[in-house]
A and B are shown apart, each in its own frame.
Chain A
Amino acid sequence: MHIKASTVFNYIFIICCCALSLLPYILMGLSAFNTSVNIKKGDIFSHPSFASFAANFKALMDNVAFFSAIGNTLFVSIGAMFLGVLLSSMAAYAYTLLKNKVTNKIFYLSFFAILIPSATTIIPLFMLLQKVNMLNSLFTIILVSLSIPFTTFILVQNAKSFPIDLIKAARADGMSEVGIYFKVFIPTLKPVFITAAIISFIDMWNGFMMPLIIVQSLDLMTLPLFLNNLGANQSADYGMFMLALVVSTIPILLIFLFTQKFFMMGMKGI
């Protein structure tokens, strides 16, 4: 009986935490079915309706900036995902399979780069970008938010257990390093790369401070900037705003749910 009681307590504890974790999403979702007036009164339980949802939906669809924000966010997220994983995995390949004294030193130096807080570099970065006219560009957002050192570090940790004989065999067969990278290294470490790709996609989708200082024109805003603009406007339609919050959150949750297996596998590697 003793064990049973502790199991029950265990479940209650977990379920309470899960409920707390989910509550904001439920309330956000419920708010999307309410009118702006009801939300501002805090009265979202008494009469949520599909009519209000439809009105909010229409208001959001009429907002041109919302669609350009989705497009921009997709562009930077997908761009950073491919570029980040490609460059980090190439670096990880060099650090683990082409290593010598020099690459080892560079690896330790790049570990130091992980420890540099972005709050320290963001203002000087802004000024440098301003000098070379690189502000207000989606491509700049991608370049400055790649966080290559961190991703590389995680990939190197995982590649440490890489079967070196496989590489030796491939080299003996006369395969080029680029060939080995694409045909042996990537397929073997696929789950880790996918995890890294998902993480960088999510980071870019949600990124706020970098886009905030880089983007200056409305048509280049990413979703977080769009939401920030909308929310700062006190007279904004709150029903539509809550729906916008929901809509910008859902894709990420779905991506996570679909890739969860890979993700959990990759987490083990950390």
Chain B
Amino acid sequence: MKLTAKTKLNLNRTLFLGASIIITFLFIILPLFYAVYMSFQGGRGADTSYVGLENFKRLFTDEYIRKALINNVLVAIVIVPIVLVLSVILANAINKVKSPRLKGIFSCILFFPSITSPVAYAFFFRRAFLPDGILNQIFGGLNLIDEPINLLLTETGAQIAIAFVCIWAWIGFHTLLFLSSMQNTDPLLYKAARVDGTNVIQSFFRITLPSIKHIIVFSSILLLGSAFQLFAEVSIISKGGPGGATLTLAYYIYRICFEYVPQFGYAAAIGILIFVISAVISFVQLKAGGKNAH
């Protein structure tokens, strides 16, 4: 029997797509459905039973959920914009550097944190933030502070510490994204603008920003993803403390399942909460991004 061209094409489609569809289904889609199922199950450990909406009701009364949610939202609406603005400014600054060699060196150095293991830098910073840690030594040596500060002991201090680490770690990657997009912008545009008497700031807002708009949308989707999955940093640097001041939803899920008697059903419900929030945010962003693009 000879295969028709159409059957052959369909066989090829199956061959090329099969494995990735199966893996994506088994390890991403199926767990999502299972999360929905589990979120209606209560109980501790392996012993679970159907409890209806009990887990979701508990979400509203759990004080730690409130704290973790506020922290995740704070990261999303404060730290993410800071990272975006700083990396656009930084990319714009590097883009003005004439020598390609220097450009390369600068972007490499800035990129290092985003390819370093969060576990590695989190442990470094945890040590460095201590009263006898390196940061206190440096600031003390420069006479910027009178006595060592135990940043991780106070709620605001710990939040600032985590914020600082996130900004430090996230900026480089997005700077590079913006920079490579800026380099794609036609230099003639800037020349024409200069002839027309546009100054540097105007040309930044009128040419540079619009030309990287789609990357800004892409970057903010990635960053919001990181914001709602924040885990290694808080689990290592502050253990979510003091008093839940730096707890995040992802870390809370982990704690519920692996640090106490596991409550998988409740953890699944928190997972669904994260899913709903990030779905809403992504939807709004894609809409906004789509509008701007046209």
Contact = CB atoms under 8 A, between A and B. Distances in A.
Contacts of B30: 128
Interface stretch (B10-18, B54-62, B74-82, B152-160): B10-18
A90 B16 contact: yes
Given A98-B9, A119-B253, A124 B271 contact: yes
Interface string B207-242: 000000001001000000100110110001000000
A21 B236 contact: no
Interface stretch (A53-61, A161-169, A262-270): A262-270
Contact of A177 (B12, B180, B253): B12
Contacts of B50: none
A210 B13 CA distance: 31
B117 A227 contact: yes
B115 A202 contact: yes
Contacts of B19: 87, 90
Interface in B54-104: 90, 93-94, 96-97, 104
Contact of B120 (A102, A119, A178, A249): A249
Contact of A127 (B16, B38, B136, B183): B38
B258 to A, nearest CB: 7
A24 B250 CA distance: 26
B115 A117 contact: no
Given A21-B110, A22-B109, A115-B282, A206 B253 contact: no
Interface residues of A, number: 87
B162 interface: no
B27 A208 contact: no
A243 B136 CA distance: 21
A117 B274 contact: yes
Contacts of B268: 123-124
Contacts of A152: 20
B257 A126 contact: yes
A228 B119 CA distance: 7
A178 B236 CA distance: 47
Contacts of A98: 9, 12-13, 16
Contacts of B176: 264, 267
B121 A24 contact: yes
A120 B274 contact: yes
B177 interface: yes
A205 B132 CA distance: 31
Interface of B: 9, 12-13, 15-17, 19-21, 23-24, 27-32, 34-35, 38, 90, 93-94, 96-97, 104, 106-113, 115-121, 123-128, 130, 132-134, 136-137, 168, 171-172, 176-177, 180-181, 183-184, 200, 215, 218, 225, 228-229, 231-232, 236, 249-250, 253-254, 257-258, 264, 267-268, 271-272, 274-275, 278-279, 282
26 contacts: A10-B93, A11-B97, A13-B90, A17-B110, A28-B124, A87-B23, A90-B16, A90-B20, A91-B16, A120-B32, A120-B271, A121-B28, A124-B35, A143-B27, A149-B24, A149-B28, A177-B15, A178-B12, A206-B117, A206-B119, A227-B120, A245-B120, A245-B124, A252-B115, A253-B112, A267-B176
Closest 7 CB pairs of A and B: A121-B31, A94-B16, A124-B34, A120-B271, A206-B117, A224-B119, A42-B132
